[in-house]
């Protein structure tokens, strides 16, 4: 995955590096030594202007996702971030995307909506207070929720902003929140590094003209100034009242967003999907035992690919040999997420069955009386 | 009245024959003549007084009816006087004469114990038989002749077509862009006119199309400096090659009486008038608004400032004084940005400089040296704004302190904003930090 994302970034970089308008002299050129881009453009004067763009991607981030179900059907999500020793910047931005539904503790406005736009100070202060209680952050870090962007994000607080962050070689835990939604994999979550004061991007004039191709190229560079990492985030809403077949369909839909990426082999996804369709049909036909068997078949296939998938709190790494053997079938995080979601279905069905059983016993007792 | 008509009957017939003969003689014998009639002014007279050397036509006392009738007779100028009921007054007030023996006057006739009346009369000398007829607007060289029996006026005119040019196309385009048009030429019977040549010109519209705030005329696109505003140009067909715009066009109508062309706008917003002329045509005009639609003035808020102690931030008198327009989505995001800043600098608010002009388009900040060029980069579509950052110039009130530059940029970037520093007249590529003249944040929404 890391190799793939680097490859993608490299392709973008190459495309931009090679860009040049021979007649106007405008260009964006990457310096492989520094990793910075020199932008040459038509500025305010008749001469060309230059500026340097220092990307915030000189980090080597790894994010580990854990997700645990507690007795109230609440799922606790926790994240640990590691910055590789070869990184040149401290990680100061962590953004988890595609979190569409409110997390536990995130308070709505009195009218039931969630704030995308806060204009009243009292409401703003109340919202900030709610965010602090709903988003877990390590010491000296602040978490925030931006509903407009379906994201939860973190950065060092004001007091430590200029010196804090996750420096090269460091690991930091304690990022997280609770949710009722099951995990899926966000393929657009990202992290970025700190730009020093003398590296803040700017133009010595008004910059390139909007109609210039350089303008569009530069915006593309700036809009992708981060490193993406696959992260498990709450993405699958649990139907209320609970319906196993509906939930299985949602899990299947999530799985198919991985197909065609490095997360799962398409053929393997199809194989798993057959069992999941059968399970959903069984639940619809009120055949919970058959449904359970089909789900267990999926879990066995996943277990064959990766060990210890049911250890939700910690990510027990496969051995290097096992990783090499299974990397083309399904990614370990994808397997963990899928296994967790399927176990959730089984647990809820078991509870529903016990509840029905108890109800049945109660009715019989009443009739006997 | 009858005596007057009898007196001129013979004259009527002679004149009629003379006009017909003249027309036939002066044109090809195969020329077609059309009979053109018009009611005489006498038809609206409520009464007529015959005097020794003139007669007086009393117009209707209904002022509205008189006004309506006047429109048919463009050479008359009539007013009504209000009578004084206690006085018997005969007051002839000469109002106007058109130089051909036609004079309009109003007289007040009042008798004691009679209803008040007011009347305007036309003093018509006997010699002017045609004076009771209107001066025609088309073919004015051929006058009407009065026909007393029918109490109307008539003449014969050649059957020349009166052509109309019609524009077909939209009247709004974003800057800079192309707007396809076509023109159609038809005669008065709706028949298309192939082969007709139509000349096109374009000019800037100086009239107020829609008033904006602070007296700004939207028709000028929000620019108070109007000299030499770019007019745009044409492609004289349905095809346009970039860089080939022409200032005028001469089009030849095809078999359908139609010809396509393209209006090419510049990056400058504003209203333009395209004029089409041709022989025997009524001139046609089309108003084209070059604009970014639906830009909204940034509303006042406690989260940011649009003015400081010197007035509207960024306003330049005589050049651009109304500079705070954004698209509605950008305004929503602006408030998010304001919240971000408040979170990292409690108690402080953003001071907002240039956004876009009322109709967007090129925002020429260097009006003195290079008007209509050197735009604010990215301020054309209502999706950009400048924010005060600490700088070495005189405008520092409320600026973001330099110690918060990194933090502000990072927090804004995390929330999806594209933000960076701009400065002015600096040869320093070190990101404006050592040459902070006119330094500001530029934000793209």
Q: Are residues A299 and A330 in the same domain?
A: yes
CA–CA gap between residue A222 and residue A208 (Å, rounded): 14
CB B263 within 8 A of CB B359: no
Which residue from B374, B380, B426 is facing A210, i.e. has the nearest CB?
B380
| Per-residue confidence (pLDDT) for residue B43, from 0 to 100 | 59
Q: Show residues of chain A in contact with B406, CB under 8 Å.
A: 161-162, 194-197, 200
What count of other Cβ atoms lies within 10 Å of the Cβ of residue B226?
A: 14
Q: Are A206 and B377 in contact (CB < 8 Å)?
A: yes
**Cross-chain residue pair A205–B423, CB shorter than 8 Å:** yes
- Name A141's Cβ contacts closer than 8 Å, sequence gap at least 6: A154, A155, A156, A157, A164, A172, A174, A175
Q: What is the pLDDT of residue B25?
A: 40
Residues A214, A318 within the same domain: no
Which residue in A92, A119, A192 is closest to B301 by CB distance?
Answer: A119
Identify the sign of the CA torsion A121, A127, A130, A135. negative
Domains in chain A, number: 3
Whether A114 has its CB under 8 Å from any CB of chain B: the answer is no
pLDDT digits over B320-360, tens only?
A: 888 999 999 999 889 889 989 988 898 899 999 999 999 99
User: Could you give the dihedral angle defined by the CA atoms of residues A264, A267, A270 and A271, in that order, rounded to the nearest 10 degrees?
Assistant: -100
Domain enclosing residue A172, as ranges: 61-197+227-231
Contact B410 A194 (CB under 8 A): yes
Looking at A94-103, A164-173, A323-332, which range is the least confident one?
Answer: A323-332
Residues A307 and A336 in one domain: yes
Most confident listed range (A165-179, A208-222, B226-240, B309-323): A165-179
**CA distance to partner chain A, nearest, from residue B165 (Å):** 36
A195 and chain B: CB distance < 8 Å anywhere? yes
d(CA B409, CA A53): 14
Task: Please report the pLDDT score of residue B34 as a whole number.
Answer: 80
Q: Could you tell me the two tokens for B187?
A: 């005669």
Pick the residue of B333, B349, B377 with the most A CBs within 10 A to test the interface with A by mutation. B377
Judged by a CB distance cut-off of 8 A, whether residue A124 touches chain B is yes
Mean pLDDT over residues A271-279, rounded? Answer: 97
Classify residue A240 as left (phi > 0), alpha (psi -120 to 50) or beta.
Answer: beta
Residue A192 shares a structural domain with residue A206: no
Residue in B376, B390, B414 to test binding to A, most A beta-carbons within 10 Å: B414
Cβ within 8 Å of B, A 47-86:
49-52, 56
CB of A113 within 8 Å of a chain B CB? The answer is no
**Same domain assignment for residues A142 and A254:** no
Q: What is the pLDDT of residue A322?
A: 61
User: Mutate which of A142, A152, A202, A227 to test chain B, going by most B C-beta atoms within 10 A?
Assistant: A202
CB distance A206–B422 less than 8 Å? yes
Domain boundary residue, one of A223, A257, A288? A223
pLDDT on residue B225: 83
Distance from CA of B72 to the nearest CA of A (A): 55
Q: How far does the CA of residue A44 sit from the closest CA of chain B (Å)?
A: 6
Name the helix (H) or strand (E) containing A136: strand A135-136
Do A335 and A290 lie in one domain? The reply is yes
- Rounded to an integer, what distance in angstroms lies between the CA atom of residue A27 and that of residue A40? 5
Which pLDDT value is given to residue B425?
A: 57
Burial of B140 (0-12, 13-18, 19+ CB in 10 A): exposed
Phi-psi region at B303: left, alpha or beta (left = phi > 0; alpha = psi -120 to 50): alpha
Q: Which of A231, A256, A277 is the last residue of a domain?
A: A231
A121 touching chain B per CB within 8 A? yes
d(CA A146, CA A153): 8
Tell me which residue in A149, A196, A202 faces B423 most closely, judged by beta carbons.
A202
Highest mean pLDDT among A59-73, A98-112, B112-126, B413-427: A59-73
Inter-chain CB pairs, A–B, below 8 Å: 131
pLDDT of residue A302: 94
Q: Is the pLDDT of residue A22 over 50?
A: no
Identify the pLDDT of residue B108.
38
Name B101's Cβ contacts closer than 8 Å, sequence gap at least 6: B125, B127, B128, B131
How many Å lie between the alpha carbon of A51 and the closest alpha carbon of chain B?
5
Q: Are residues A150 and A88 in the same domain?
A: yes
User: Considering only alpha carbons, which residue of chain B is nearest residue A54?
Assistant: B431
pLDDT at B387: 96
A208 and A179 assigned to the same domain: no
Q: In this predicted structure, what is the pLDDT of residue B23?
A: 41
Are A214 and A317 contained in the same domain? no
**Looking at chain A, which residue has its C-alpha nearest residue B435?**
A204
| Mean pLDDT, residues A37-55 | 84
Q: Does A355 score more than 80 pLDDT? A: no
Query: How high is the pLDDT of residue B95?
Result: 40
Contact B342 A195 (CB under 8 A): no
pLDDT tens digits for range B355-412: 999 999 988 877 777 788 766 767 889 999 999 999 887 888 999 998 898 899 999 9
User: Other C-beta atoms within 10 Å of A226: how many?
Assistant: 22
Considering only the beta carbons, identify the residue of A119, A128, A201 that sits closest to B303.
Answer: A119
Considering only CB atoms, which chain B residues are within 8 Å of A197?
Answer: 402, 405-406, 433
Mark whether A170 and A84 lie in a shared domain.
yes
Chain B residue with Cα closest to A146: B415
Q: Which domains are present in chain B?
A: 2-158 (no CATH), 163-290 (2.60.40.10), 296-444 (3.30.1380.10)
Q: Name the more confident of A77 and A147.
A: A77
Please give the Cα distance from B231 to B273 (Å, whole number).
9
Q: Does one domain contain both A364 and A307? A: yes
Q: Identify all chain B residues contacting A44, using CB atoms and an 8 Å cutoff.
A: 366, 374, 424-425
**HSE (side-chain half, CA atoms, 13 Å) at A353:** 14
- Angle at which helices A332-368 and A266-284 cross, to 10°: 10
Distance from CA of B338 to the nearest CA of A (A): 9
How many Å lie between the alpha carbon of B166 and the closest alpha carbon of chain A?
Answer: 34
- Sites in chain B below the pLDDT cut of 50: 1-2, 4-5, 7-8, 15-31, 51-55, 59-67, 69-70, 72-131, 213-215, 427-429
Mutate to test the interface with A, among B429, B435, B441, B442 (most CBs of A within 10 A): B429
Assign residue A155 the CATH number of its domain: 2.60.40
The answer, for A201 touching chain B at a CB cutoff of 8 Å, is yes
- Å between A272 CA and nearest CA of chain B: 37
- What's the average model confidence in pLDDT over A282-287? 96
Residues A360 and A272 in one domain: yes
When mean pLDDT is compared over A94-98, A146-150, B96-100, B116-120, the highest value belongs to A94-98
* Residue B254 DSSP SS3: coil
Q: Which chain B residues have a beta carbon less than 8 Å from that of A93?
A: 410, 413-414
Nearest residue to A135 via CA among A180, A164, A103, A183 = A103
The distance of Cα B70 from the centroid of its chain, to the nearest Å, equals 26
Q: What is the predicted pLDDT for the residue at B89? A: 29
CA–CA distance from B378 to each of B286, B385, B444 (Å)?
A: 30, 8, 8
Residues 134-173 of A with CB under 8 A from B: 146, 148-149, 153, 155, 158, 161-162
**Cβ contact, residue pair A204, B410, below 8 Å:** no
Which of B335, B343, B433 lies at the smallest CB-CB distance from A197? B433
CB-nearest partner of A44 from B374, B415, B432? B374
Q: Return the residue in A92, A93, A158, A204 with the most chain B beta carbons within 10 A, the one to mutate for interface testing.
A: A204
Give the closest of A93, A148, A201 to B431, CB-based.
A201
Q: 3-class DSSP state for residue B257? A: coil
| A142, A200, A213: best to mutate for the B interface, most B CBs within 10 A | A200
Which residues, listed in sequence order, are joined to residue B297 by a DSSP beta bridge? B325
Tell me the sheet residues that pair with B183: B167, B259
pLDDT of residue A21: 45
Which residue intervals of B272-419 are DSSP H helices?
Answer: 328-344, 405-414
């Amino acid at each position: 995955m890391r190799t793939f994302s680097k490859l993608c970034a490299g392709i973008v970089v190459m495309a931009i590096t090679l860009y040049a308008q021979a007649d106007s002299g405008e260009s964006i050129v990457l310096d492989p030594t520094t990793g910075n881009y020199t932008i040459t453009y038509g500025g305010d004067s008749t001469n060309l202007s230059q500026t340097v763009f220092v990307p915030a991607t000189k980090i080597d981030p790894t994010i580990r996702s854990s997700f645990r179900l507690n007795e109230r059907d609440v799922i606790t999500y926790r994240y640990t971030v590691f910055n590789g020793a070869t990184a040149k910047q401290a990680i100061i931005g962590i953004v988890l995307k595609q979190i569409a539904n409110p997390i536990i503790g995130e308070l709505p406005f009195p009218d039931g909506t969630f704030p995308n736009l806060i204009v009243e100070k009292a409401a703003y202060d109340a919202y900030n207070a709610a965010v602090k209680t709903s988003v877990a952050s390590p010491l000296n870090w602040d978490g925030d929720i931006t509903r407009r962007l379906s994201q939860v994000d973190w950065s060092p607080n004001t007091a430590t902003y200029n010196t804090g962050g996750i420096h090269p070689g460091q690991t930091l835990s304690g990022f997280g929140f609770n949710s009722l939604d099951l995990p899926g994999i966000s393929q657009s979550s990202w992290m970025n590094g700190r730009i020093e004061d003398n590296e803040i991007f700017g133009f010595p004039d008004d910059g390139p003209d909007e109609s210039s191709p350089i303008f569009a190229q530069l915006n593309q560079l700036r809009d992708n100034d981060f490193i993406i990492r696959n992260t498990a985030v709450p993405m699958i809403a649990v139907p209320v009242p609970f319906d196993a077949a509906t939930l299985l369909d949602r899990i299947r839909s999530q799985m198919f967003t991985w197909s065609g990426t490095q997360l799962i082999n398409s053929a393997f996804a199809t194989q798993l999907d057959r069992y999941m369709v059968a399970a959903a049909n069984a639940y619809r036909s009120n055949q919970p035992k058959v449904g359970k068997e089909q789900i267990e078949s999926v879990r066995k296939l996943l277990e064959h690919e990766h060990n210890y998938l049911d250890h939700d709190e910690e990510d027990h790494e496969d051995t290097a040999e096992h990783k090499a053997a299974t990397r083309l079938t399904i990614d370990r995080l994808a397997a963990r997420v899928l296994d967790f979601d399927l176990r959730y279905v089984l647990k809820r069905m078991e509870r529903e069955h016990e509840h029905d059983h108890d109800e049945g016993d109660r009715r019989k007792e009443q009739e006997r009386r | 009245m009858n005596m007057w008509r009898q007196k001129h009957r013979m004259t009527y017939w002679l004149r009629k024959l003379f006009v017909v003969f003249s027309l036939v003689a002066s044109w090809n014998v195969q020329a077609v003549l059309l009979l053109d009639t018009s009611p005489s002014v006498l038809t609206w007279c409520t009464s007529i007084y015959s005097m020794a050397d003139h007669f007086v036509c009393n117009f209707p006392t209904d002022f509205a009816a008189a006004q309506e009738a006047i429109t048919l007779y463009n050479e008359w100028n009539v007013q009504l006087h209000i009578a004084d009921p206690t006085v018997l007054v005969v007051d002839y007030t000469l109002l106007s004469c058109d130089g051909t023996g036609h004079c309009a006057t109003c007289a007040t006739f009042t008798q004691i114990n009679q209803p008040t009346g007011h009347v305007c009369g036309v003093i018509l000398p006997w010699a002017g038989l045609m004076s009771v007829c209107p001066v025609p607007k088309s073919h004015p060289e051929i006058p009407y002749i009065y026909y007393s029996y029918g109490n109307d006026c008539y003449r014969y005119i050649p059957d020349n077509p009166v052509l109309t040019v019609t524009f077909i196309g939209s009247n709004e385009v974003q800057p800079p862009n192309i707007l396809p048009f076509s023109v159609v030429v038809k005669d008065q019977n709706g028949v298309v006119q192939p082969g007709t040549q139509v000349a096109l010109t374009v000019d800037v519209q100086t009239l107020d199309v829609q008033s904006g705030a602070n007296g700004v005329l939207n028709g000028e696109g929000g620019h108070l400096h109007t000299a030499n505003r770019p007019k745009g140009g044409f492609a004289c067909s349905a095809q346009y090659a970039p860089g080939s715009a022409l200032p005028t066009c001469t089009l030849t109508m095809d078999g359908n009486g139609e010809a396509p062309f393209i209006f090419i706008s510049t990056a400058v917003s504003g209203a333009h008038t395209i004029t089409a002329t041709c022989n025997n045509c009524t001139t046609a005009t089309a108003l084209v608004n070059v604009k970014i639609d639906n830009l909204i003035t940034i509303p006042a808020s406690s989260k940011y400032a649009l003015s400081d102690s010197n007035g509207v931030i960024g306003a330049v008198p005589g050049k651009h004084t109304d500079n705070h327009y954004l698209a509605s989505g950008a305004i929503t995001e602006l408030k998010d940005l304001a919240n971000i800043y408040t979170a990292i600098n409690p108690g402080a608010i953003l001071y907002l400089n240039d956004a876009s002009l009322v109709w967007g388009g090129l925002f020429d900040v260097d009006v003195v040296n290079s008007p209509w060029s050197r735009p604010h980069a990215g301020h054309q579509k209502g999706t950009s704004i400048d924010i005060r950052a600490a700088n070495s110039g005189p405008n520092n009130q409320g600026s973001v302190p330099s110690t918060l530059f990194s933090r502000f940029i990072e927090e804004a970037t995390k929330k999806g904003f594209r933000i960076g520093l701009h400065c002015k007249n600096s040869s320093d590529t070190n990101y404006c930090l050592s040459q902070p003249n006119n330094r500001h944040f530029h934000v793209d929404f």
